[in-house]
Structure 1
Amino acid sequence: MNDFFTRFATAAAYWCGHASAFMIALVAVLLWAATGPMFDYSDTWQLIINTSTTILTFLMVFLIQNSQNRDSAAIQAKLDELIRTSLAANRYIGIERLSEEELEALREKCLQRAQEPSGERNAAE
C-alpha cells in the first residue's frame, strides 16, 4: 500500500505541476461561473464549487506533504554523503533529528565560528 501511494503521489504531484493541470482547473472554474445565471446563482450552485475545491485541496495536502517529505529525505541523504566524503565535520550528519533547542544551540555555535577570523577558526577545529 505504501509503495502504491508513493508512486501515485509522485505521479499526481508531477502532473499537477504542469500548465495543463492549471488550464483544466481554470476551464472548470470558468464553466462553473458561466452556469451561474442558468442556476440563478443558487446555494446549490455555490455549494458545488465550494465542496469540489475543498475536497481537492484536502487531498492535495497529503500528496504535497508526501512529495516534500521524500524530497527532504533525499536532499538530507545527499548532504550527509557530501559531509561524509569531504573535510567537513561528520558530527553534522543526522542533525535533523536533534531537538529544536539543540539545533538552535548548533546554529549559534556555527554563527559564532563563522564570525571568527579564519586563522582562529582553523585552530579551534
Structure 2
Amino acid sequence: MEKEMFYEKLQRKGYRLTQRRHEIIDYLFACSDRYIAARELIEYLQSKHATLSFETVYHNLHTLRDEGLLAELQYGTETLYRIPCTMAHHHHFVCLACGRTYPLLSCPMSEIKNFPEGFQILYHRFEVFGLCAECQQRKKTV
C-alpha cells in the first residue's frame, strides 16, 4: 500500500493526521520489509521527542491494526507490527534477528488433508522463523 493511500484511508475514517501519527507511519513505511516491535518504534520516537508516552505509540499502533492498516504478529511475549504486503495470498519467512520478512509464495493449507469434521476455517496464518543469510553471516563474524 502506498503511503498516500494509507493517509487517505485514515482520513476517510475520520482520523486526524497528527504530527506524531505522521512520524509513526513514516517509520513503519521506512521499515516496511520487516516486522518491528513497539519498543523499537518508541525508542526511535523518544530520541526525537523525549516526552513521548508509550500510550501514544500503543494507541496509534492498535488503531492502525484495528483499521486493517497494520499486520500484527505474536512472537513469544512480543507483538510485532509491519505494513501489510500488497501481494496476493502468501505467507512469510521471518528473521528472528532483524525482523526482515521474505515471501513464502506457496500455501501449506492445500497440503492438509485431515480437517476436523464440520470445522469451518475463517482464516489461517503461517510463518516460518529463522535467521536470514545476512544475520547468519553477521553472527559468524562476531
TM-score with structure 2 setting the length: 0.27
**When you count strand as a share of all residues, which structure comes out higher?**
2
Structure having the higher Rg: 1
TM-score with structure 1 setting the length: 0.29
**When you count helix as a share of all residues, which structure comes out higher?**
1
